[in-house]
């Protein structure tokens, strides 16, 4: 499922694009937000299908090597552990994955060169060699290798990052998030399950879907009010010279603090400070942290931040 961290990131990205294009309609930007989130979900399914693609590629190589005029003993009797991986077999037979891939045309058909490079990177890696040479041969070992593939091989391949970013502007900064989603999904797979293993839904629930729309709309609606608040708490700064991204991060944080009573203050502050570290400079994150901290303390005293639920007011 799309986490709230990804939702916040997507809303920030689309808001930045929106304010950078004054003539753009709000409805068009909102549609782009939904499209951007859907593209992240596409990437989730694309990555889940990657082990299947790599297994097929490995199988073809094995057959080609056997057909050589003078194949070696190793080529005639290859290690079949990877192509026989039980977890990959479950992915191959997964109805949800197969249906989504076919319906949305999410596949590796036009990315065979990338598949080849990922495969070469995999077979030269320590996790792969350890997996092939291990005497442990069961579903748990197969699943553990698939998890290691995503975390230790795919994420550490700079070429992969560049290729995904070139394939879709909506996949910029998505790979880390989506790989974590994929690994969480793989951990749920069990060898004994006879029914179809369910994949993550687009949103955890309707509350998250509503959170996405409300955060976007409310931040735009409260932009003037939030900007005045930020100006009041940055008197020693020329707010027009503060980076647009920094302003937007603070506007989003203020909107969430005041409009979402079920979200703890500490969660909101931590999330937007992390976004500031990623999308701004270290100096910006310290600046944003200081401004939001002062605003939060005053707003709590003035009753402008109202949280529903025990413990939610603690900042």
| pLDDT at position 144 | 98
**Residue closest to 256 by CA, chosen among 312, 302, 203, 305:** 305
**Residue closest to 288 by CA, chosen among 304, 270, 302, 305:** 270
**163 with 227, same domain?**
no
Buried/exposed code over 154-168 (b: 16+ C-beta within 10 A; e: otherwise): beebeebbebbeeee
Can you tell me which residue has the tokens 């060169």? 113
Q: Which domain holds residue 162?
A: 4-188
Q: Is residue 178 part of a domain?
A: yes
**130 with 63, same domain?**
yes
**164 with 78, same domain?**
yes
Buried/exposed code over 256-266 (b: 16+ C-beta within 10 A; e: otherwise): bbbbbeebbbe
**167 with 282, same domain?**
no
Q: Is residue 212 part of a domain?
A: no
**32 with 123, same domain?**
yes
Q: How many domains does the chain have?
A: 2
Q: Is residue 102 part of a domain?
A: yes
**119 with 247, same domain?**
no
Q: Is residue 315 part of a domain?
A: no
**CA pair distance 65, 135, nearest whole angstrom:** 25
**280 with 229, same domain?**
yes
DSSP string, 117-182: HHHHHHHTSHHHHHHHH-S--SHHHHHHHHHHIIIIIITT-HHHHHHHHHH-GGGTTTHHHHHHHH
Q: Is residue 147 part of a domain?
A: yes
Report the predicted TM-score, pTM, of the whole model to 2 decimal places.
0.90
Q: Could you say which of 172, 188, 204 is where a domain stops? A: 188
Q: Is residue 195 part of a domain?
A: no
Q: What CATH number did the domain enclosing 248 receive?
A: 1.10.940.10
Q: Is residue 239 part of a domain?
A: yes
Rounded (10°) angle between helices 126-133 and 139-148 = 170
| pLDDT at position 195 | 61
CB atoms within 10 A of CB 132: 14
Of all helices (H) and strands (E), which one includes residue 155?
none
Per-block average pLDDT, block size 10, for the chain (315 residues)?
A: 92 94 93 96 97 97 90 88 97 94 94 95 97 96 98 92 87 90 94 77 94 97 95 76 87 97 95 92 87 96 84 54
Q: Is residue 295 part of a domain?
A: yes
Length of the chain counted residue by residue: 315
């Amino acid at each position: 499922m799309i986490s709230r961290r990804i939702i916040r990131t997507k809303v920030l990205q689309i808001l930045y694009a929106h304010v950078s294009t004054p003539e753009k309609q709000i409805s068009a930007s909102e549609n782009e937000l939904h499209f951007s989130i859907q593209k992240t979900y596409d990437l989730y399914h694309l990555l889940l299908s990657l082990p299947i693609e790599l297994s097929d590629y490995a199988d073809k190589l094995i057959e080609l090597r056997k057909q050589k005029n003078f194949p070696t003993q190793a080529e005639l009797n290859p290690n079949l552990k990877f192509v026989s991986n039980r977890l990959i077999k479950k992915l191959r037979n997964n109805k949800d994955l197969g249906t989504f891939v076919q319906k949305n045309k999410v596949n590796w058909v036009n990315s065979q060169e990338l598949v080849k490079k990922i495969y070469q990177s995999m077979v030269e890696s320590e996790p792969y060699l350890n997996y092939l040479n291990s005497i442990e041969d069961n579903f748990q070992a197969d699943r553990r290798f698939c998890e290691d593939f995503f975390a230790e091989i795919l994420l550490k391949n700079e070429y992969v990052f560049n290729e995904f970013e070139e394939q879709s502007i909506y996949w910029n900064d998505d790979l880390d998030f989506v790989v974590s989603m994929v690994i969480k999904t793989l951990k749920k797979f069990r060898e004994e399950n006879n029914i179809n293993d369910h994949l993550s839904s687009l949103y955890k629930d309707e509350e998250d879907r509503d959170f996405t729309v409300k955060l976007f709309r409310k931040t735009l609606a409260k932009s003037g009010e939030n900007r005045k608040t930020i100006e009041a708490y940055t008197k020693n700064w020329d707010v027009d010279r503060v980076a647009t991204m920094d302003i937007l991060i603070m506007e989003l944080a203020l909107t969430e603090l005041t409009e979402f009573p079920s979200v703890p203050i500490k969660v909101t502050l931590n999330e937007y400070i992390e976004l500031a570290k990623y999308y701004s400079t270290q100096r910006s994150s310290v600046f944003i942290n200081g401004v939001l901290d002062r605003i939060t303390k005053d707003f709590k005293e003035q009753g402008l931040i109202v949280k529903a639920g025990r413990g939610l007011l603690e900042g």
